[in-house]
Copies of this chain bind each other. A is one copy, B any other.
Amino acid sequence: MARIVQKFGGTSVADTDRIRAVAEKVKREINVGNEVAVLLSAMSGVTNQLVAYVDDVSNLYDAREYDTVVSTGEQVTVGLLALVLQGMGIPARSWLGWQVPIRTDNVHSKARIKDIESAELDKRMKAGEVPVVAGFQGLSAENRVTTLGRGGTDTSAVALAVALGADRCDIYTDVDGVYTTDPRIVPHAKKLERVTYEEMLEMASLGTKVLQTRAVEMAMKHGQRIQVLSSFEDVPGTLVVDEDEIVEQELVSGIAYSRDEAKITLVSVRDQPGVAAAIFGPLSEASINVDMIVQSVSGDGESTDMTFTVAENDLERAVETLKALKDQLGCDDIMFDSNVVKVSVIGVGMHSHAGVAQTMFGALAEKGINIQVISTSEIKVSVLIDEEYMELALRSLHAAYGLDAK
């Protein structure tokens, strides 16, 4: 017997037929003797409609009222699923954020979970009841409804699994697991049986939209096992687990990519202490995240070129901000290019093996793909390349690391 938290997103509860299908998945776990708690999103599209109402009535909205309005979607789905389960003879009860309660901080519309009072749910699960908990929402110390921000239901699910001491948190979604790379681009891509938290985190932040970064961070912190699996197909998914649980670690477990990148080069800025702070301070103040940074070695020792990347939709604001600094930096020119992609090779195995980066550079060179910027961490190597080479780069790297399915 195991204790499992099942999370279903908006497309999985899009209408009453889908909600009935969710109930079947709950029933299957119950039938094999498991204890189950369920966590749901709103019907897909509903939260967007609610946000549209808020946008319509108010420019400068009070996030407390925003949360009151947008948290209603989950309230509908949890009530409906509880009814369907009851109709199937499975004792079930809906739980809203304030009823559990799921306590959060007061940062409305992007609150963080502080504590979940799980004793009552625990007792009921032991007695055979299925708690159906509203995702995405919580309760502030001021007795007001909070929401966790878009996609926060993954985080709710992991937090609930941790609070209930669940053996596994099953995240049902519209893909059937985590792949070595995007199967739409590389048909040879393989579904991973297991992936580590660290790899999943890198994949999430590098563009693989399977799990929310915050949810993975929380799972990693608490050692909570997650399974990513399909709501629509009945196949095993991918387990996200601690490195220790993966016996034979591949050097590289996946190739991620992100199109949402733009490159900026400040030509010939003064090469002196404090220049980086003078550039990146104002960008940070404008809430623009800078990712990869390269400072080229200057020939004359007096000036240098500074290249870095920002998110594509921050590009215009970043360039405006930098233009105002041009004279102060002694910069000759500001160049920018949004036709770039970031391709990353990820694997917890690589930190104990040399040569991973070299394989990447070699594979790209062989296809004549120019690397514009490089950045590395313990478990990933990222390169910025011209956008038109993206598919070629993914396929080449996937083969070079021996990831192609047989």
Interfacial residues, chain A to chain B (CB-CB below 8 A):
16, 19-20, 50, 53-54, 56-62, 64-66, 68-69, 71-73, 75-76, 78-80, 82-84, 86-87, 93-94, 96, 98-99, 143-145
Given contacts A50-B76, A98-B98, A143-B99, contact A84 B68 (CB under 8 A): no
Set of chain B residues within 8 Å of A143, measured between Cβ atoms: 99
Q: Say how far A142's CB is from chain B's closest CB, in angstroms.
A: 10
Cβ-defined contact, B68 with A79, below 8 A: yes
Set of chain B residues within 8 Å of A86, measured between Cβ atoms: 58, 62, 65
Cβ-defined contact, B58 with A83, below 8 A: yes
Cβ-defined contact, B69 with A75, below 8 A: yes
Q: Which residue of B lies closest to A87 (CB)?
A: B58
Set of chain B residues within 8 Å of A80, measured between Cβ atoms: 53-54, 57, 65, 69
How far, in whole Å, are A195 and B41 apart by their CA atoms in the complex? 49
A–B pairs, 14, beta carbons within 8 Å: A50-B76, A54-B80, A54-B83, A57-B83, A58-B84, A59-B87, A60-B87, A62-B82, A65-B93, A65-B94, A66-B79, A69-B80, A72-B72, A98-B98
Which 9 interchain pairs have the tightest Cβ spacing? A69-B79, A68-B79, A58-B83, A72-B72, A65-B79, A16-B56, A65-B82, A65-B83, A72-B75
Extra inter-chain contacts (10) besides given A58-B87, A72-B72, CB under 8 Å: A16-B57, A57-B80, A60-B87, A61-B83, A62-B83, A65-B93, A66-B79, A69-B75, A75-B75, A98-B98
Cβ-defined contact, A68 with B56, below 8 A: no
Question: Which of B16, B50, B56, B68 is within 8 Å of A53, CB to CB?
Answer: B16
Set of chain B residues within 8 Å of A76, measured between Cβ atoms: 50, 53, 69, 72
Question: Which of B58, B73, B94 is within 8 Å of A68, CB to CB?
Answer: B94
Set of chain B residues within 8 Å of A82, measured between Cβ atoms: 62, 65, 68
Cβ-defined contact, B57 with A99, below 8 A: no
Q: Say how far A71's CB is from chain B's closest CB, in angstroms.
A: 8
Set of chain B residues within 8 Å of A145, measured between Cβ atoms: 96
How far, in whole Å, are A82 and B76 apart by their CA atoms in the complex? 22
How far, in whole Å, are A299 and B143 apart by their CA atoms in the complex? 73
Cβ-defined contact, B75 with A68, below 8 A: yes
How far, in whole Å, are A94 and B69 apart by their CA atoms in the complex? 10
Q: Say how far A195's CB is from chain B's closest CB, in angstroms.
A: 36
Question: Which of B20, B57, B99 is within 8 Å of A144, CB to CB?
Answer: B99
Set of chain B residues within 8 Å of A93, measured between Cβ atoms: 64-65
Q: Which residue of B lies closest to A78 (CB)?
A: B68
Set of chain B residues within 8 Å of A20, measured between Cβ atoms: 57
